[in-house]
Structure 1
Amino acid sequence: MNFTKLLFSSKSQAHYGVFSRSYYTNRVNKATLYSRISPLGGPDKSVEAELEDWLKHGKNIRVAELQRIIHDLRKRKRFTQALQVSEWMNKKGLCAFSPTEHAVQLDLIGKVRGFDSAESYFNKLKDQDKTDKTYGALLNCYVRQRQTDKSLSHLQKMKELGFGLTALTYNDIMCLYTNTGQHEKVPDVLREMKENNVSPDNFSYRICINSFGVMSNLEGMEGVLAEMENQPHINMDWNTYAVVANFYIKAGLTGKAIDALKKSEQKLDNKDGTGYNHLISLYSSLGDKAEVLRLWGLEKTACKRYLNKDFSTMLQSLVKLDELEEAEKVLEEWESSGNCYDLRIPNIVIVGYIRKGLHEKAEAMLENLMEKDKITTPNSWGSVAASYLDKGQVKKAFECMKAALSLFVEGKGWKPNLRVVAGILDWLGDEGSVSDTEEFVESLRRTIPVDRKMYHALLKAHIKHGERVDKVLDRMKADKINEDEETKTILAMKSS
């Protein structure tokens, strides 16, 4: 569980023009501009052609609709497309951009092209558009890319211009110090905030609580939590208590962790799957199977539809607890849920099997998935191969590594484990057929550079079965691999 993500999960959604309401399409299946843009999918797909085509066919475009589309694309992290819509709207002159529209575009530029481009856009703005909104958006760009000097000098400029600093501004600076590992500076920002009569919000307190926790200053953490609980304008939330519980767990303070988790659950919205996931993960860290299963039952009752990420959290928790039989039950629930297939879900259980030395079960699950025409990964098969090799079952390791190599795709990040490859090559040279050794080496050549060990396996296999080795030696020479003492020893076997 990513507790940094938990820390930032409820950061104000009103950040420079992001509002909390979702944008829904027309329920009567009437074609809308959004219904044309939404299916475009990946961030690399341009939306400008769709916008131009919409205009070309004489259809009206309302500014409010474009703004809602931008908001929705941002919410879905399709920042490139959101920026395309914003820039197109500006280029077409469909409305005079206010500081708010400029702030949104500036924020998107920062996300897509980096702070240098955002800075350039800001510098070209008219003076009347350089308001607290656009200054704040640029500050956020600097913070996001951890530009400490630029962030602090920009903040100073905002102070000199007399902009009323808000909780959002101070939160940005606290985020900057958090993201750059300067946790000791965060409480000073909270103190300055209060001295300037700016009321900290939930996020202000939570990030300060996190900083004390990271510094293992639990007394400081508890002091900020107590202050937060006593603020009349603060509505305590589940994730603040979850952050506190996480630090208690790390410190081995089980009793205090459980108290914080109970408070967290009391603040949880019944339909908040994310909250249930965090609590399940935390209870698994405490080794509490009963609470993990209880919360899973509550989540399934409260959240009528549960997502792959919910199953993922639950499976990870059960595997951490070594409760593989329970994990198998949850995996069956996932398989019958109708959710889209995600190879990462069964892989959680496969990894659990491997860690427990149950490589036969891991292999059986992979074979079952393949029989159902489901995707498996070379990494999964490679892990099972390593497990078999460690148990001395080299032939099984060979079969699993062959499956892994058959799934290899260039550029996808997987490479075979060289220790496992070496073990299999040794075995093939001594026990394998010429055809098996040739096929295996040919598969390896597509994934890793050819080396002497591959040729030694080929030479030994050929000699053992009475085959000529001159062509193997020619290929070895062509690959610029020189004979060494081991090569000469192998070749000497031919005449003995």
Structure 2
Amino acid sequence: MMNYFSRNGSLCVGITRPCSVKNELLNGYVEDNTCVVESHMSVSCGSPYFKRFYHQSNAFPRFSITKCGFSSQAGAKSSGEEDDLQDGFSELETPLGSDTTTESNLDDEKADESASDADVSDVDGDEESPEDELEILTDKGKGRSIRAQSQLFQAIISARSVENALDKWVEDGKDLNKDEIWLATNNLRRRRMFGRALQLSEWLETRGKIDFVERDYASRVDLIAKLRGLHRAETYIEKIPESLRGEIVHRTFLANCVAAGNVKKAEETFNKMRDLEFPTTAFTCNQLLLLYKRLDKKKIADVLLLMEKENVKPTGFTYRLLIDSKGQSNDLDGMDQIVEAMKAEGVELDISTQAVLAKHYAADGQKMKAESILRDMEGGDLMEHRSACPLLLPLYAELGKVDEVRRIWEVCERSPRANECVAAIEAWGRLKKIDEAEAVFNGMVKRWKKLSATQFSAMLKVYANNKMLTKGKDMVKQMADSGCKISPLTWDIIVKLYVESGEVERADSILHKATQQNLMRPMYSTFMSIMSQYSKRGDVHNAEKLFHRMRLSGYTARITQFQSLLQAYINAKTSAYGMRDRMKADNLFPNKAVAALLARVDPFKKTPVSELLD
């Protein structure tokens, strides 16, 4: 098997020709960041004698950021950890669901999946389904609108269980054709009712009602990965008939590895696809770019080199990822160069790409450029370009344009869509207009009988950012009373609500209790928001404990974790023994900043006095 990832984790494509790369995109990433080296060693990348792009920084961490570790063992309990959840959060102690839903509790998803008629209509008409690019929904070419309502879908969400609904459907002699099944599945997916979509798929297979094709199996893999984790999805793949275990199944699994932030598993899956001689497509390359943009930008050049070697043409999504990556690195000149390369290739700048550009211009203080792009996004008539409104609202808020936010919202306010309401709440929150944000939220409560976690979280985030702890507690109680499922993102906001209010121990207690009850796998940033506060205090014990709990939650170690941990030792004015060895055990190499911190906590470092004594 040819391995396309070398031991240090970088993508290796085994190029034997000189690396005078002409591709403008690649040049933009190679320039100033990489150098060409010639290797005479036989490595796992295929060719024993090759030239490739090698990053001067030898830090290639392997880590996960998911819902998808690691170094110390901390034994004692942190302060406040034994406390019961109080102050309005005790209502959330009863498990409401998990990203790792097991087979035994799939039927107990009534809290978030019993949709009323009002909830059913609450789907953003212009929102693109995430399954569209995966192409895992079958029979899309039969002319039925993806927004059409399905009688089967209505029967499923109205019944106590999916099995009962389907059994009754058959008993009543109703037609169960592939077109109706596709439409029901699509409706379930678009409303994120993945548990019921999985039960529908399982019922169809066990009853033998349809002959499964590869896309049906790929859809099942996607649902299992979302609900039960990557391991269960990978196990299921092995049970799929070999003739139907093709590219779509594997790329669906790859996309879920990327969504989970599991670098190791994503790279293994990519290698397997190459070994099975599946074609290298823009989709698979985009998945790697998405992964590395989030976790390791140094590897982006390697993916671009592979794309050039394999003659894979960049898509609009490819360009958007590269533009965003440059913007995140504050390289706006490089961002502009990618835009020019995009235009030269005749690729249109869609509103999502324009929004990314405007966001980075606004963050850099280039307000005129940002406003010019926003006007282009409006297209002269907002009613005709209404899909731009959810993007425009927070961007105008970022620029501090209160009147523009009000103007955009007035277009939406007469018949608001869910994503427009969420965007408006976010925009008013950024502008510190709490009353306006609450007015939008209250309008949603009146319009729709049952709100989603996303809608609640938007208002909760406004309270967290403005340190309005009491209102935040009331909002969480309202979520619990409505039976809304608490997602990792919502828990992240709840924790940060307490952190921003200075109640770090309470935030830690809430997070610990939620994790113990298996409500969720916390987000990486949730842990880090607490850990950074302990570090500032010089609380080494609790910082180490957070470090260990991140490992237990399935996160591989990252350089930022060690950086925060080292800062705790520095602020505590104490030495850290064996820290370099701990990093080495996790296959991490210190960058300049971390190396400087290591030197400061080294118990064996030389001082003028110690040198004299030696």
TM-score range, shorter chain: 0.5 to 0.7
Q: What's the counterpart of residue 189 of structure 1?
A: 303
Alpha carbons of structure 1 residues 261 and 95: separation in structure 2 relative to 1, 3 Å: same
What amino acid is aligned across from residue 292 of structure 2 in structure 1? Y
| Cα distance, 1:288 vs structure 2 | 1.7
Name the CA distance, whole Å, in 2 between partners of 1:129 and 1:293. 52
Alpha carbons of structure 1 residues 228 and 381: separation in structure 2 relative to 1, 3 Å: closer
What amino acid is aligned across from residue 148 of structure 2 in structure 1? Y
Contact 2:153 2:187 in 1 (8 A): no
What is the identity percentage for the equivalent residue pairs of Structure 1 and Structure 2?
25
| Cα distance, 1:287 vs structure 2 | 1.3
Structural mapping, 1:69-148, within 5 Å: 69-148=184-263
| Worse overlay, 257-266 or 114-123 | 257-266
| Worse overlay, 345-354 or 128-137 | 345-354
> What do residues 280-306 of structure 1 show as CA deviations (whole Å, max 9, x unaligned)?
211111112232233233445xxx511
Q: What's the counterpart of residue 235 of structure 1?
A: 348
> What do residues 398-425 of structure 1 show as CA deviations (whole Å, max 9, x unaligned)?
xxxxx99xx9x9x99889989x9x9xxx
Contact 1:280 1:314 in 2 (8 A): yes
Name the CA distance, whole Å, in 2 between partners of 1:346 and 1:104. 30
Contact 1:205 1:228 in 2 (8 A): yes
| Cα distance, 1:271 vs structure 2 | 5.1
Kindly indicate whether residue 313 of structure 2 is the aligned counterpart of residue 219 of structure 1.
no
Name the CA distance, whole Å, in 2 between partners of 1:291 and 1:352. 24
1:64 equivalent among 179, 182, 201: 179
SS at match of 1:13: helix
Contact 1:319 1:352 in 2 (8 A): no
> What do residues 29-54 of structure 1 show as CA deviations (whole Å, max 9, x unaligned)?
xxx433311335xxxx6301211222
Contact 2:153 2:188 in 1 (8 A): no
Name the CA distance, whole Å, in 2 between partners of 1:95 and 1:354. 53
| Worse overlay, 309-318 or 46-55 | 309-318
| Cα distance, 1:118 vs structure 2 | 1.1
Larger Rg: 1
Alpha carbons of structure 1 residues 297 and 56: separation in structure 2 relative to 1, 3 Å: closer
Q: What's the counterpart of residue 158 of structure 1?
A: 273
> What do residues 224-252 of structure 1 show as CA deviations (whole Å, max 9, x unaligned)?
111122323x3321110111111111122
Name the CA distance, whole Å, in 2 between partners of 1:417 and 1:336. 25
Q: What's the counterpart of residue 407 of structure 2?
A: 294
SS at match of 1:150: helix
Name the CA distance, whole Å, in 2 between partners of 1:146 and 1:417. 27
Q: What's the counterpart of residue 256 of structure 1?
A: 369
> What do residues 362-413 of structure 1 show as CA deviations (whole Å, max 9, x unaligned)?
9xxxxxxxxxxxxxx672599xxxxxxxxxxxxxxxxxxxx99xx9x9x998
| Cα distance, 1:85 vs structure 2 | 0.8
Q: What's the counterpart of residue 425 of structure 1?
A: none
Alpha carbons of structure 1 residues 208 and 46: separation in structure 2 relative to 1, 3 Å: farther
Q: What's the counterpart of residue 424 of structure 2?
A: 314
Alpha carbons of structure 1 residues 280 and 123: separation in structure 2 relative to 1, 3 Å: same
Name the CA distance, whole Å, in 2 between partners of 1:159 and 1:258. 44
Name the CA distance, whole Å, in 2 between partners of 1:211 and 1:235. 19
Name the CA distance, whole Å, in 1 between partners of 2:457 and 2:217. 42
Q: What's the counterpart of residue 277 of structure 1?
A: 390
Contact 2:189 2:197 in 1 (8 A): yes
Kindly indicate whether structure 1 or structure 2 has the higher relative contact order, using CA contacts under 8 Å at least 6 residues apart. 2
What amino acid is aligned across from residue 377 of structure 2 in structure 1? S
Name the CA distance, whole Å, in 2 between partners of 1:150 and 1:70. 28
Contact 1:183 1:214 in 2 (8 A): no
| Cα distance, 1:14 vs structure 2 | 3.1
> What do residues 111-148 of structure 1 show as CA deviations (whole Å, max 9, x unaligned)?
11111111111112222112111221222232222221
Contact 1:238 1:268 in 2 (8 A): no
Name the CA distance, whole Å, in 2 between partners of 1:176 and 1:226. 24
Alpha carbons of structure 1 residues 351 and 252: separation in structure 2 relative to 1, 3 Å: same
Please tell me the root mean square deviation across aligned C-alpha atoms, in Å: 4.2
Name the CA distance, whole Å, in 1 between partners of 2:173 and 2:475. 55
> What do residues 49-97 of structure 1 show as CA deviations (whole Å, max 9, x unaligned)?
2112222344442233223212221122111111111111111112222
Alpha carbons of structure 1 residues 66 and 316: separation in structure 2 relative to 1, 3 Å: closer
Name the CA distance, whole Å, in 2 between partners of 1:209 and 1:127. 39
Name the CA distance, whole Å, in 1 between partners of 2:190 and 2:437. 33
Q: What's the counterpart of residue 148 of structure 2?
A: 24
| Cα distance, 1:336 vs structure 2 | 11
Alpha carbons of structure 1 residues 96 and 339: separation in structure 2 relative to 1, 3 Å: closer
Contact 1:194 1:200 in 2 (8 A): no
| Cα distance, 1:351 vs structure 2 | 5.0
Q: What's the counterpart of residue 493 of structure 1?
A: none
Name the CA distance, whole Å, in 2 between partners of 1:288 and 1:61. 52
Gaps of 5+ in 1: 1-7, 27-31, 363-376, 383-402, 423-496
Q: What's the counterpart of residue 317 of structure 2?
A: 203
Name the CA distance, whole Å, in 2 between partners of 1:216 and 1:244. 12
Contact 1:318 1:326 in 2 (8 A): yes
Structural mapping, 1:423-434, within 5 Å: none
SS at match of 1:94: coil
Contact 2:463 2:472 in 1 (8 A): no
| TM score, norm. by length of structure 1 | 0.61
Name the CA distance, whole Å, in 2 between partners of 1:353 and 1:111. 29
Contact 1:245 1:256 in 2 (8 A): yes
Q: What's the counterpart of residue 13 of structure 1?
A: 132
Q: What's the counterpart of residue 34 of structure 1?
A: 153
Q: What's the counterpart of residue 453 of structure 1?
A: none
Contact 1:106 1:118 in 2 (8 A): yes
Structural mapping, 1:331-346, within 5 Å: 334=443, 338=447, 340=449
Q: What's the counterpart of residue 290 of structure 2?
A: 175
Q: What's the counterpart of residue 476 of structure 1?
A: none
Name the CA distance, whole Å, in 2 between partners of 1:381 and 1:336. 12
